[in-house]
Amino acid sequence: MINVLFVCLGNICRSPVAEGVFRQLVAEQGLAGQIQCDSAGTAAYHVGELPDRRTRENALGHGLKLTHRARRMIGEDLANFQYVVAMDEANFDAILKLSHRSVGLISEDNIFLLREFDPVVSDEASVPDPYYEGPEAFEQVYQIVLRCCRQLLAYLAHHHNLTLLNDSRTT
């Protein structure tokens, strides 16, 4: 089983969207028995809460129901997930610090920024945090996450010799 963890700060906006979108893409490709995912935050601000209401509303507008409860990332996650995908550079750095304290649990080669998979050329390395923004910011996050998760799935399929039902980079 390939396990992927999506990480942002509070686990109520960006990472739950990434988890939901990625899970849906995996299911559409018939790979749910081979790839699993979850999400977490580097901070414990919202542990136990559903994703932000605006995040859930935006996702629902795209046919995606988010029911994940926020949780904080722990060192054990580095043993349970082969891939950890950060939404921004600050959380990427926090994951690296945790991995240095949990030596040997995950290769730094398997810790990514989600935007590394963005097919749209951009100088921005982070998925923007929509928390203090309006509805258009939540839609922007959804669109960034969707296109990056498509590429992430193609990357994993290639590296693990999995067959995609269709090319997820173009659907």
Each residue of 64-113: pLDDT tens digit? 999 999 999 998 999 899 999 999 999 999 999 998 887 666 778 899 99
The yes-or-no verdict on residue 114 having pLDDT over 60 is yes
- What is the value of pTM for the model shown? 0.94
By percentage, how much of the chain surpasses pLDDT 70? Answer: 95
The candidate with the shortest Cα–Cα distance to 148, out of 168, 132, 123, is 168
The yes-or-no verdict on residue 168 having pLDDT over 80 is no
Contact 91, 42 (CB under 8 A): yes
The candidate with the shortest Cα–Cα distance to 39, out of 66, 62, 68, is 68
Average pLDDT over residues 35-44: 97
pLDDT value for 103: 61
Kindly state the tokens that stand for 103: 């030596």
Active site residues: 8, 14, 129
CA 80, 84, 87, 90: dihedral to nearest 10 degrees?
Answer: 90
The yes-or-no verdict on residue 123 having pLDDT over 90 is no
As a CATH number, domain 2-159 is 3.40.50.2300
